[in-house]
Structures are given as structure tokens and as C-alpha cells.
Amino acid sequence: MSDKQYTEVLQKIERLKSSGMGNPKWRFHFPHGEVRDSVANAGFAYAVDTSWEGKSVTYDVNKNGDVTNMKVAGMGERLDHPGSVPWTHKSFGKGH
């Protein structure tokens, strides 16, 4: 569970080396020089897009200061919502 939630303009996104399990990792740059990395193996990391740069995002951080979830502010449900199944074989229906 996240300790804190923030809403800020995302200034820059960098793709980092994938986690040991092959999942994407990101580095996020925020105003005032703040830099945070995504946690390893986070489901939201598959939805991150560089088009988010310059937009307001809402994100959660854990006690270590790493991003555990993120969405563009005002863009619907968060990717860790219990009803969501992002980027899995279940998203494509039967037979795929």
C-alpha cells in the first residue's frame, strides 16, 4: 500500500533497464528537480507513455520514495483498480 499520493506535472520520462523479470522500469522527473523511479514489476509501467510529458499526473509513492502507480490526472480509473486487467492475455478475450 502506498504511503502518499501526489498530483504534479510530469516533466520528463526516461526508460530504464527492465527488471530482472523483464518488466519495464521508468524514471520520472518532476518540478523542482525531483526524480523518482517506478518500482520493479509494477503493472502500471506497461501503460506509461512519453506523451505524458508536460501533463498533470497523479501518482503514489512507497516509503522508499518509488512510484507504485501513476495515471494522467482526470483520465479514468487507476491501473491498480481491482476491476482492471491491463496488458494480460485476459484483455484480449477467449481464443487469443
- pLDDT tens string 9-31: 999 999 999 999 999 999 999 98
- pLDDT tens string 27-78: 999 988 999 999 999 999 999 999 999 999 999 999 999 999 999 987 654 4
- Note the CATH architecture for domain 4-76: Beta Barrel (2.40)
Provide DSSP, 49-86.
-GGGTTSEEEEEE-TTS-EEEEEETTSSS-TT-TT--T
- The alpha carbon of 94 is separated from its chain's Cα centroid by a whole number of angstroms, namely 27
Rounded CA gap, 6 and 91, in Å? 29
89 pLDDT higher than 60: no
For residue 5, what pLDDT is reported?
A: 92
Residue ranges per structural domain of the chain: 4-76
